[in-house]
Structure 1
C-alpha cells in the first residue's frame, strides 16, 4: 500500500521497477510533488511522529513537510523497494549568520548503500536538493538544480559535510550541513524529539513564519511570510503579497489549504 500510494503521489508508474539506475527520476518527481512546508508547525498541530501518522499526512492528506517528514517517507518507500537505506542526523549551517545551527542535529537525511558504496540522498533540504544520490567520496554530482558534493570532513557535528552550488544562484560553494555517518535514527519515534525542537526552539527557522517551497519544471516557487519568490529559467521575480493571496497561492501552487 505504501509503495502504491507513494508512486501515485509522485506520478511514478506502479509497474516500473525502481533501481539505482533510475533513482534520479524518483528524486526528481518527489521534488516536484512534495512541498517543503511548515504549516503544521505554525498551526501548532503537529502530532506524534509515527509511520502511520506520516503516511496519513503525506499520502492520504497530500501535505508536504519538513526534512524529517519528506526524507522519512522517502526512506520507507526506498526500503519497501529493496534499497539498503538508513536515516541519519545532521546539523545545518546557517548561511545568514555563518555558523552552525543552535538547534543541533535536527536535519534528517538518508544514507543509501549500493554495490558497496555509500550515497547521501536528500529530498528535504528546501530547494537546495541534489535530485541525485551524492557519493560520500567528494565527487561532484550535477543536476538541473546545480552542483553538489559530500566531503569527508571531521567536525564537532560529524564526519562528513554536504556542499551545494545552486544553478543560476550561487557562484561559490555553500556549506549545507554536517552529518555523522554512524549516528543513525534507529526508529521513527526518535524523530519526535527533533519535531519538538523545530517547533519550540528559539533558534529554529521554522516556528516564526509560514514557509513553503518546491521545485517546478522550470525553476522553483517559494512563499515566505509576506512574499512570493519565483525562479523561471534562471530569472527571479519577488513580490510582496497579503495573506489572501498567500492562501490562494498555497492552494494553487502547493495544494495546501490554510
Structure 2
C-alpha cells in the first residue's frame, strides 16, 4: 500500500487495518463526505496547480484542504484503486434547473464508475451537497442514504448515455436530474482534468471563479459557507446568517478546518 492510502485513511478516519470492500464502501463515502469539503478557494485565491496525483495528495491529504469534483473524485479514485477496486473516471455535464437545460460549460463534472461482480455503479464524492453516499447502480435501482434517494437512468443525449437523478432529503418532493455522464468515454489520466480546471477558472459563466464557496455534509444535514452567508441544514431545519470577511475566515477554520 502506498503513502496515499495511509494518508487518505488518516484524513477521513479509517484505520490502517480495516479492509475496504464493496460492502463497506458506504462507510468510506460517508466519512469522506463529512471530512473533505467541496470548495473553490484555490481558484478564488489564484493558487491552483496542475492536476496530478502528487498535487492532489499534497493539497487534500497533506495540507488538509478540500477541492472541486475533479479533485475530490480523483483522490477517491486513487484510494479505491489502491484498495483493489475496478474503477475508472468519467466526465459529465451538470443540469441547470433554472434554464431547464445542460450547463453551457460542457463536460466539467468528474465522477467515478466502479465495476463489481456483474454490475457497474456510479460513485461520486464531488457533487457538493448532493452526494448519494452510496454506490448507485447503473441498472436503474434506487439507493437511499441519509442524504436522500438516488438513481441512475439510461438516457442518451448529446453529452452522455446516463443521468443521475435525486430526491434530496428535506428538500425535493420529486425526482430531479443532477447531471449526465458518458460511460463509454473513460478518462485515462487525471491530467485530462486540467481542461476542467481551466474552464472553471476562465469562463464567465463558471460558478466557481467569482466568490468563495465551502460546503460539506454533516451528521444532521449540511453546511455551506460563502463570503456573505453561513447556511446550515440541521434535521430539515434551515438556519442562515449573514457574515463578513473576518467571520468567513473564523468559520472556515472552525467548521471546515481550512486556514
**TM-score, normalised to structure 2's length?**
0.98
How much does 1:137 deviate? 0.9
* Counterpart for residue 110 of structure 1: 112
How much does 1:99 deviate? 1.7
How much does 1:176 deviate? 0.5
How much does 1:71 deviate? 0.2
Of 143, 146, 149, the match for 2:145: 143
Of 11, 15, 18, the match for 2:17: 15
Asked if the contact 2:136/2:151 (under 8 Å) is kept, the reply is yes
| Structure 2: gaps spanning 5 or more residues | none
Greater strand share, structure number: 1
1:27 and 1:132 map into 2 onto residues whose CA distance is 7
1:98 and 1:238 map into 2 onto residues whose CA distance is 27
* Counterpart for residue 193 of structure 1: 195
* Counterpart for residue 162 of structure 2: 160
How much does 1:241 deviate? 0.8
2:209 and 2:28 map into 1 onto residues whose CA distance is 30
* Counterpart for residue 99 of structure 2: 97
Matched, 1:38 2:20: no
2:211 and 2:229 map into 1 onto residues whose CA distance is 11
1:103 and 1:36 map into 2 onto residues whose CA distance is 19
Report Cα offsets for 1:18-48 as digits up to 9, x if no partner. 0000000000000000000000011111111
Moved segments of 4+, more than 6 Å: none
The count of residues paired between Structure 1 and Structure 2 equals 257
2:226 and 2:177 map into 1 onto residues whose CA distance is 22
* Counterpart for residue 2 of structure 1: 4
What's the Cα RMSD here?
Answer: 0.7
